[in-house]
Structure formats: C-alpha cells, structure tokens
Amino acid sequence: MGPLLLLILLFASCQAPRTAPESPYVVLLGTAQDGGLPQIGCNEPICSDAREDPPRRRHVSSLLLVDPRDGRRFLFDAGPSLPEQVERARAHPTTRIDRGNRPPLFDGVFLTHAHVGHYVGLAHFGREIYGAHLMPVWATPRMGEFLRTNGPWSLLVETQAIRIEELNPSLDVELAADLRVQALRVPHRDEFSDTVAFVIRGPQRSVGYLPDIDKWERWDLPLEEFLASVDVAFIDGTFYADGEIPGRSMSEIPHPFISETIARLENAPAALRAKVVFTHLNHTNPASVPGSPAERTIRAAGMRVAREGEIVSLGAR
C-alpha cells in the first residue's frame, strides 16, 4: 500500500459516519448564535465570505433527535433557520413515511427558552405558512404561558397548529422505553421565560444540549457533573473571549467564554474534556473558522467545535 493511499484511508476513518445508525441518534442542524452566519449588518470578512460562498453559512443552533425504529423525529429549538433545517432533516430517518397532504414536519418540538434564536421558527407551523395540526411543543410552564398569552404565538395555540406539552424538570419525557428527554433549569436572562438544557438518553448513550447559559458559576449544577452524566455535550460556545464585540459591553449578553471553559476544565480528566462540543457560536467568534488559532487552541485543550450535519448515535458507539 502506497503512503498516499494509506493517508487517505486514515483520514477517512476519522470522519463522521456517512450513513445514519439504525438505533436512535441526533443530528446537529445548526451551530450559530441567534443571528446565524452571515448575520444582518455584518460586513466583516467572515460574513462577506459566507454571503459569497454558501457552504460557509451556518444555521442557528438546533438539534434533531431521530428514532429510525419507528420513523419519528423531534426538533430541539425552532429558530430563524427552520425552513433550511427542515430540508436538512429531510433524509432523517430513511424509515419515515409521510402521509397526507400536510404530514407533520416533526413529531414534536422541545424549546429551551424564549430568545429569538430558539422559538421564532414556530411561526412557520401556523396557517399562514405550513398549517400544522396539533404538533406537540414541549415547554416549561412559564414558556408555555408566554406562547399562550402573546401574539402571534397565541394564534398557533388557538388554531390548534401546536399543542403545548408541559415540561417538568423533575420528570423525564418518555418517547420510548429506552428513549427519554430530561430538562434541566439553567440561569439565563429570563425576560419572557425560564431556560432549560436537555439531556437525551438513548438505548446506550446520552447527549446533552445546552446552547445558552449565563456563566458556569451561576449554575447550581457544576459543569463537571453535567459532563460526567452524558457521553457528548453540545454546550454554549457563543463567544470565545471578552471584548469580542466592539462598542458593546459583553456584560449585557453574559455567556461563558470558551476561554473560561477551557481554563475551568484545564485539570479535568481528558475523557471528560473530550465530551465538550461547542455550539451556538456568534458570528464574531474566531473559533467558528475551521483551522483558526482559536479553533486549534480548543482542539489542543481536548475539546472541539460542533460541525453542522454531524451525527451522534445513542446506541452503540
């Protein structure tokens, strides 16, 4: 075997699986902060390049849970990129059979909170666009009340486009005997609703989804304990470091900087750090550029940046 062929085979073995697993799995549908990439009003090279080269664009943070055993799929956060993400989800799972003129786009939606990047896509399910019927939307009591009492979301409830299902952080949502979703409360600028993270537990493996939190030290659950409870953790990587947004105080939009997370986990076991996958990256975040010094620093710390379209099996590794 020649050296070049050997390198090609080694490289291919390190890539994400090209085919979806037969057991439940998750697909990352978006990795960007609420404004996506390119972001409105952004004239920086990263946005200009994304406008000119579509593969550089990034959708707003969202996750798809898929169960190929019965063809169901569930969306985690419905943001501004929903139309594109419906297309990205089209092939998942291959066992899905759509029936009728208005087949459900998803078998349910789980919402983390009421910031625009996480729920405004619900508007696409209304009668003005898709015309969904009684699609389950899991939300905390406060989030559910916000949707019921504020237009245009209240119209989705009144016309039965969506059906609010109450999330109780003390109780798991059982989607199958071996597939459950747990909500965890997290602190995060709760102007209109409270905020939760999700832990998705499958037949053999589990995934954490925590796109937004103020600061790790404000959470009553230590980050290390959260990481220890899952196999893969998609966590808040909105900003890389302080001072990232010129002319604006970062204290107005608190998030744990990636640099802070790296420092906090510096002495943690390598296996724990390897679970960290940063998502929800703002357009200003230098780590969103593959191969950048910031992205290389993350990899050197034993962590990584999320890739849109990547698949994580909840069955065997």
Q: What is the pLDDT of residue 107?
A: 97
Q: Per residue in 98-119, is it b (16+ CB within 10 Å) or e — as a string?
A: eeeeeebbbbbbbbbbbbebbb
| Residue bearing tokens 């390198």 | 7
Q: Any alpha helices (H) in the chain, and if so which ranges?
A: 3-13, 45-52, 82-88, 116-119, 141-149, 153-158, 223-228, 258-264, 270-273, 293-300
Mean per-residue pLDDT, 68-82:
97
User: Residue 99: which pLDDT band, with cuts at 50, 70 and 90?
Assistant: confident
Asked if the model's pLDDT at residue 38 lies above 50, the reply is: yes
How far is the CA of 7 from the CAs of 11, 12, 300, in angstroms? Answer: 6, 9, 22
User: Residue 1: which pLDDT band, with cuts at 50, 70 and 90?
Assistant: very low
User: Which pTM was predicted?
Assistant: 0.90
- The rounded mean pLDDT for the chain is 91
CATH T-level fold of 20-95+103-313: Metallo-beta-lactamase; Chain A (3.60.15)
> Tell me: the pLDDT tens digits for 113-122?
999 999 999 9
Asked if the model's pLDDT at residue 17 lies above 50, the reply is: no
| Residue bearing tokens 């066992």 | 95
Residue 23: φ, ψ to 5°: -90, 170
Which residues in the chain belong to E strands, given as ranges? 25-30, 62-67, 72-76, 109-110, 135-139, 162-166, 173-176, 179-186, 195-201, 206-210, 232-236, 276-279, 304-305, 311-313
Task: Work out the number of other CB atoms within 10 angstroms of the CB of residue 136.
Answer: 16
Mean per-residue pLDDT, 251-259:
88
Asked if the model's pLDDT at residue 16 lies above 60, the reply is: no
Task: Pick the closest to residue 236 from 223, 252, 246, 249 (CA basis).
Answer: 223
> Tell me: the pLDDT tens digits for 166-179?
999 889 999 999 99
Between 90-99, 187-196, 234-243, 248-257, the lowest mean confidence (pLDDT) is in 248-257
244, two tokens: 């990232």
Task: Work out the number of other CB atoms within 10 angstroms of the CB of residue 192.
Answer: 15
d(CA 313, CA 206): 9
Reduce the DSSP state of residue 115 to 3 states and report it.
Answer: coil
DSSP 69: T
Residue 32: alpha-carbon gap to chain centroid: 9
d(CA 277, CA 209): 10
Task: Work out the number of other CB atoms within 10 angstroms of the CB of residue 54.
Answer: 7
Between 98-107, 160-169, 264-273, the lowest mean confidence (pLDDT) is in 98-107
Mean per-residue pLDDT, 60-72:
97
Q: What is the pLDDT of residue 204?
A: 97
Q: What is the pLDDT of residue 91?
A: 87
Asked if the model's pLDDT at residue 137 lies above 60, the reply is: yes
Q: What is the pLDDT of residue 19?
A: 60
